Amino acid sequence: MDALDAAVQNFFTSLHTPIINWLWVFLAQYGIYLIVLLALIMLFKQKRIHERTRFFIQALLVLVLARGLVAETIAFFYNRQRPFETGLNALYAHGQGASFPSGHTTAMFSIALVLYAWNKKAGKWALVIAALSGISRAIAGVHWISDVIGGFLVAWIVYILLKKFVFEKFNKKEEVEEIKITQ
């Protein structure tokens, strides 16, 4: 994996130009805020409070478990250096610490996956922003590409497990309660 990461990082370094570096830095640092903003806009556009609550709880649950528990646990046990800690140049100042998996990428995909399940159009935009922002973090030299892929996989696996074992059962229970109320 290290050889692949180094090869990809060398390619990304070749993409550094003064004209476009601002875009990589912007996406790397602020992509997560764009996704949160998009999620909040969609949340407040929803008129049914029940749907708002469901989306918020699902997004929060995936975010806390994927980013707060799983990604942090992996990072604790697999304390990998960031590219700039190995002598490569980063496009912006970033704190040292465990690189794998990318916490920002995990958080962005956690929200984007739930948003996609809730609203396909907005979710597609969120997934694109999450992917571009994650890749930008590697281009900017604060993560390896495998950190970004790892962040996506953590978010995706946690989302799929919660969907299968929690969200679908919760939705079925709500459907039964709605039928009882309407009868």
**Which has the higher per-residue pLDDT, 155 or 143?**
155
- Report the distance separating Cα 99 and Cα 85, nearest Å: 10
Percent of the chain at pLDDT > 70 equals 90
CATH number of 32-88+99-172: 1.20.144.10
117, HSE (Cβ side, Cα atoms, 13 Å): 20
Q: How far is CA 180 from CA 73, 144, 168, 174, in A?
A: 43, 52, 19, 10
CB atoms within 10 A of CB 3: 7
| 92-99 average pLDDT score | 75
**Which has the higher per-residue pLDDT, 70 or 97?**
70
- Report the distance separating Cα 112 and Cα 128, nearest Å: 9
Q: How confident is the model at residue 176 (pLDDT cuts 50, 70, 90)?
A: very low
- Quick one: CA dihedral 68, 42, 48, 118, positive or negative? negative
| 5-31 average pLDDT score | 85
pTM: 0.86
Of 55-59, 79-83, 107-111, 124-128, the poorest mean pLDDT is in: 79-83
Domain positions in the chain are 32-88+99-172
| 98-121 average pLDDT score | 94
Is the predicted pLDDT of residue 79 greater than 90, yes or no? no
Contact 8, 88 (CB under 8 A): no
- The four Cα atoms 46, 49, 53, 55 give a dihedral, to 10 degrees, of -20
